[in-house]
Homo-oligomer: A and B are copies of this chain.
Amino acid sequence: MNTLAEENYLKSIYHLSLNAENVSTNQLAALLNTKASSVTDMLKKLADKELINYTPYQGVTLTPPGEKIAINIIRKHRLWEFFLVEKLNFKWDEVHEMAEEMEHISSNELIDRLDRFMGYPKYDPHGDPIPDCDGKFKVHDLKPVSAIEINESGIICGVRDHSAGFLQYLEKQGLTIGKKIKVEDIIEFDRSMILQMETKTVQISREVANNLLITL
């Protein structure tokens, strides 16, 4: 098995890989709250284990075995988040830190049974897809609210920013997963958006619109 630190590096490389071909040392250092020199050391170790492809100065990518491990950790993280919200009634902004610890519980049998216990959920409380026991998951393509025009509408299906502060703000505005919204107007001055919802109208900044994801 891999150490906690190794698992966290693989997970971070996976996440950063979604936005860029090669993941850089500095990107990892920033995400992992560590120093670039520490990252370099770990990259060598992971490369020795053939979990990443590492060329000095050129960044890294995951090998297939490395990606498998990363996805398995993400599966665990999201299933535990689902458990915490659905079974223990935590709010969606409260579960991230706990799941950061729980994702390292090693047993796959445990996580598969947890999956069954909860009825094989497809999405976690933030709308992120939960990989199945073979690591497969739908990448339903979402767009930020900021990308749609006046009078277009969609259903809230995810967030880009997972910080507690952002999630709490959304909760307060009623902008939660599954809600239908329609763009009523866009303010020219700051491009903030006025959204029509079932029972009310809310105004959100461009920043918020960029981080709120919908399907049409």
Contacts and interface: CB of A to CB of B under 8 A. Distances in A.
A161 B98 CA distance: 32
A98 B110 CA distance: 8
A139 B92 CA distance: 39
A88 interface: yes
B88 A98 contact: no
How many copies of this chain does the complex contain? 2
A45 to B, nearest CB: 20
Interface residues of A, number: 17
B88 A117 contact: yes
A101 B105 contact: yes
A23 interface: no
A48 B110 CA distance: 38
A90 B113 contact: yes
A84 B88 CA distance: 15
Q: What 8 A-B pairs are tightest by C-beta distance, nearest first?
A: A88-B113, A101-B105, A98-B107, A98-B110, A88-B117, A102-B105, A87-B117, A101-B106
